[in-house]
Amino acid sequence: TRVLDLATIPGDGIGVEVVAEALAVLKAAVGPDVEVTTTEYPFGAEHFLATGEILGDDDLATLAQHEAILFGAVGGDPRDPRLAGGIIERGLLLKLRFAFDHYVNLRPTKLYPSVTSPLADPGEVDFVIVREGTEGPYVGNGGVIRQGTPHEIATEVSINTAYGVERVVKHAFELAEKRGKKVTLVHKTNVLTHAGSTWSRLVSAEASNHPDVVWDYLHVDAATIFLVTDPARFDVIVTDNLFGDILTDLAGAISGGIGLAASGNVNPEGAFPSMFEPVHGSAPDIAGQQKADPTAAILSAALLLDHVGLPEAAARVTEAVSADLAERGSATRTTSEVGAAIAQRVAAAAPTH
Ligand code: NAD
Ligand code: IPM
Ligand code: MN
């Protein structure tokens, strides 16, 4: 039998609640021919406060043994000074993305037919944001001098290597080949001229390898306009780490809410395990109340299944989600009720022999 050996990192807040549901759905989806083994890791804000550990190199080595990682969300009490400065976000989530070379941060956006968008006339919304995952302003290249004085200067230098940009751009074009054959580069080349010229040149060069893919360019500010006024124009958006972070929350909002937005931190070469997580965070405002929508985590599990070569199981999950969304009324259900309803649909569709 095929064994799927997963690590789970539920993390903090609603991360714990939604990963439980996503895992149950995933297990129901694979059928009897796949044996899912899981190891849960306790990393997150609570673990840090209890042990002083965030994520060590030995932990990375252990995690690297798994085929893929299902991640919830991190982020503890925002008022706790011991967690200030995104110490967990950087030390856990970004450390994993960097160490496992998750250079493709894959964030699909699809407005399901039965889901109400806040947009009056959204049209067909079905695009993927390919967000660079290992560079940009996220790398921690910066500092503060003359701190606490009126002459304080803080820098946050964005790193854009030809190696890093080229590979994610190539991935975006290859994805577009399989989809609507359109790539939109989003940047801010009119102001961030240095990084902008690197991105533009490498996109244009890659485009010449894909004559059947059309490509265009939008400044990031204009991209936020069109994501609201005409999202149907997009197929594949490729962009840097920070623009991609911002645009994917917006993409979630226009397609039915952040509770539906899934993502994968992908190392396409398979040198390291890829990691799948909802786009949302730990939502301290609703944590522990069974109010979180687990659908984003469940759809992230579907991306995981697709990535590990189980596309039929992945399709069972997305079809079950689609059916559940179609029957969702205004009645509020708990996190577990939504998860159980989807798991039940998936189980009914899965092979049983
Ligand atoms: P958030 O995504 O946690 O929450 C934003 C808003 O969306 C909140 O009102 C929340 O209740 C709502 N929301 C989020 N997920 C939902 C769901 N599944 N169902 C229903 N409502 C949902 O973003 P934030 O408040 O900016 O950040 C909270 C913490 O999470 C911070 O510590 C932040 O750093 C962290 N964070 C972590 C990740 C991650 O682990 N990948 C992502 C984003 C933010
Ligand atoms: C996301 C989150 C993270 C990011 C934070 C928590 C570091 O917002 O996954 O979108 O900025 O990438
Ligand atoms: Mn984000």
* pLDDT on residue 31: 92
> By residue range, what is the domain housing residue 345?
1-110+256-353
CATH number assigned to the domain comprising residue 198: 3.40.718.10
Last residue of a domain, one of 200, 224, 255: 255
Same domain, 92 and 41: yes
> Within this chain, do residues 143 and 64 fall inside the same structural domain, yes or no?
no
ipTM of the complex model: 0.98
Give CA–CA dist 131/97, Å, rounded: 12
Write down the pLDDT at residue 353. 72
Among the candidates 233, 255, 277, a domain finishes at 255
240 is in an annotated binding site: no
Q: From 137, 163, 9, select the one nearest 73 (Cα to Cα).
A: 9
Could you tell me if 233 and 260 lie in one domain? Answer: no
Q: Whose CA is nearest to atom 4 of ligand 2?
A: 245
90 is an annotated ligand-binding site residue: no
φ/ψ of residue 237, rounded to 5: -105, 130
User: What is the number of other CB atoms lying within 10 angstroms of the CB of residue 119?
Assistant: 17
pLDDT of residue 249: 97
The pLDDT value recorded for residue 102 is 99
Give residue 329's pLDDT: 77
Q: So what's the pLDDT on residue 352?
A: 86
Residue-level pLDDT at 96: 98
Tell whether 344 is in a known binding site.
Answer: no
Establish whether residue 281 lines the binding site of ligand 1, counting it when its CB lies within 6 angstroms of any ligand atom: yes
Residues 45 and 90 in one domain: yes
Ligand 1 closest atom vs CA 283? 3
- If you measure from the C-alpha of residue 240 to the centroid of ligand 3, how many angstroms do you get, rounded to a whole number? 13
pLDDT score, position 168: 99
Which residue's CA is the closest to the ligand 1 atom numbered 11? 283
Check residue 330 and give its pLDDT.
Answer: 76
Q: What is the distance between the alpha carbons of residues 54 and 337, in angstroms, rounded to a whole number?
A: 32
Could you give the number of structural domains in the chain?
2
Give 243 Cα–ligand 3 centroid separation in angstroms: 10
Low-confidence residues of the chain, pLDDT below 50? none
Cα 45 to Cα 153: distance, rounded to the nearest angstrom: 30
The reply to whether 128 falls in a domain is: no
Rounded CA gap, 67 and 69, in Å? 7
Tens-place pLDDT, residues 193-234 = 999 999 999 999 999 999 999 999 999 999 999 999 999 999
Whether residue 245 is found in the same domain as residue 329: no
Give the predicted TM-score (pTM) of the model: 0.97
Residue 32 lies in a domain: yes
Just list the catalytic residues. 138, 188, 221, 245, 249
Please give the DSSP secondary-structure letter assigned to residue 136: B
Separation of 16 CA from ligand 1 center, angstroms? Answer: 13
Assess contact for 277 and 107: CB atoms under 8 A: no
Domain finish residue from 255, 280, 314: 255
